[in-house]
Amino acid sequence: MKLHEFQAKDIFRKSGTPVPDGQLVTASDQVSKATQVINGPPWVVKAQVHAGGRGKGGGVKVVQSTYDVVVATEAMLGKPLVTKQTGPDGVAVNQVLIEEGVEIDREFYLSMVVDRSMAMPTMIFSQAGGMEIEEVAAKTPDLILKEHVNPITGWLPSQAGNLIYKLDPPAPPEVRKSLMAVMANVYKVFLNNDCSLVEINPLVITKDGKVFAVDAKITIDDNALFRQKALLDLDDPREKDPLELQAEKYNLNYIRLDGNIGAMVNGAGLAMATMDVIKMAGAEPANFLDVGGGANEEMISKGFEIILQDRRVKAILINIFGGILRCDVLARGVLAAAKKKRIRVPLIVRLEGTNVEEGRKILQNSDLKFLVAKDLAEAAELVAKQVS
């Protein structure tokens, strides 16, 4: 679950990491009240969307008058913002953050992620902040420093030292102290909120030697949301793909992809393998959909409906290896969905496992039109042929 910048900054503020003062507005008539309480000029007007690269896309404006705060806010609110990370259609801006502008002297990059190969949280720090970290990694990898955190000892001051003492030019003692505090805080925030990402880019030093998180990004690990109930209120479903939102409601593991082959599979491993064979057959999957081992008829039906709603889908592959999920349950679910939504593309079915005979019979005795594949390879070839 992604948080907005203003939500991430609230968390930072509470945990002791300095952030600029700010006010959220959802309509331009709230601006004058905001500029009365927020120091400026300059003010910074920032579109709140779950995507980075806003600066270059016109979603961050530093302005010098209250009039220009209104102009910048009106230019963002209710309109799509297109950045490198949003795709060509952009995302609608529903909220704008108005902040006091700070005078930037230096910009750093600071984040914490899980390094899966080491199975440890990892602090990443770079003195080349402000720009895209991918670019820094590609051009000047030496400028990216990392510290793995042993969860037993936690984040150690000596580790902050490892990152900070390599700064060139060096930072004065007061600034070093503030940076160390921010790093310790980032680890605390990461841990306490079950984050998969905490990122500050840029973390700035102002001309008068103060440290501020000027940008903030937090992603919460979805698997931990059951014990992070307070954070659930911060969810903003407006930015999610509508089909992914439906899938979430029914506990289906569904991710939209760029291709045109819809696939419904049980089990994440089989879903991965199915995507691989679709690609090997020369086609591209439109989605990842794992209905799960314990899917019931309603979940199957809903999952199939979601695929049927996807306009880009040109052929559908159902690949089920029945275990706990019985093939007859699958067949009934598919028929239930077909009753609600017309199937306007070729359907290829490969069924194996528990109650497979009954499942096949149910499908064959229906008026559903479909092709049967004897194994996964044939299924992928058949489905790829439909779109080539």
The residues binding Mn ion (CB under 5 A) are 201, 215
Question: Maximum CA pair distance of the chain?
Answer: 79
CB of residue 54 to Mn ion, shortest distance in Å: 7
**Closer to Mn ion by Cβ: residue 71 or 131:** 131
Question: Is position 199 an interface residue for ligand GDP (rule: CB under 6 A)?
Answer: no
Task: Say how far apart CA 255 and CA 244 lie, in whole Å.
Answer: 6
How many angstroms separate the CA atoms of 190 and 94, rounded?
A: 27
Q: Enumerate residues 6+ apart whose C-beta is below 8 A from 131.
A: none
Q: Enumerate residues 79-108 that contact ligand GDP by CB under 6 A.
A: 101-102, 104
User: Does an H or E element contain 331, and which?
Assistant: helix 327-340
Distances (CA, A) of 44 to 16, 38, 72: 22, 10, 9
209 within 8 A of 197, measured Cβ to Cβ: no
Q: Which residue reads 């004065």 in tokens?
A: 172
Question: What is the C-alpha to C-alpha distance for residues 121 and 18, in angstroms, rounded to an integer?
Answer: 22
Q: Which residue number has the CB closest to Mn ion?
A: 215
Q: Which residue has the tokens 């080349």?
A: 128
Q: Is 109 a catalytic residue?
A: yes
| Residue whose C-alpha is closest to residue 271's, from 256, 257, 292 | 292
Report the C-alpha gap between 34 and 77 in whole angstroms.
15
CB of 113 to Mn ion, least distance (A): 16
Pick the catalytic residue from 99, 100, 147, 199: 199
Stretch that binds ligand GDP, among 54-62, 117-125, 182-190, 337-345 (CB under 6 A): 54-62
Which region among 46-54, 171-179, 349-357, 364-372 touches ligand GDP (by CB under 6 A)?
46-54
Toward ligand GDP, which CB reaches closer, 202 or 267?
Answer: 202
Which of helix, strand or coil describes residue 148?
strand
Query: Is the Cβ of residue 25 or residue 203 nearer to Mn ion in the bound state?
Result: 203
239 belongs to the catalytic site: no
Minimum separation from the CB atom of position 276 to Mn ion (A):
35
Q: Is 202 in the site for ligand GDP (CB under 6 A)?
A: yes
Interaction of residue 200 with ligand GDP, rule CB under 6 A = no
Nearer to ligand GDP, 171 or 214 (CB): 214
Out of 5, 99, 109, 187, pick the active-site residue: 109
CB of 21 within 8 A of CB of 63? no
**214 contacts ligand GDP (rule: CB under 6 A):** yes
53 interacts with ligand GDP by CB under 6 A: yes
For position 54 contacting ligand GDP by CB under 6 A, the verdict is: yes
Q: Return residues touching ligand GDP (CB under 6 A).
A: 20, 44, 52-55, 60, 62, 101-102, 104, 130, 201-202, 214-215
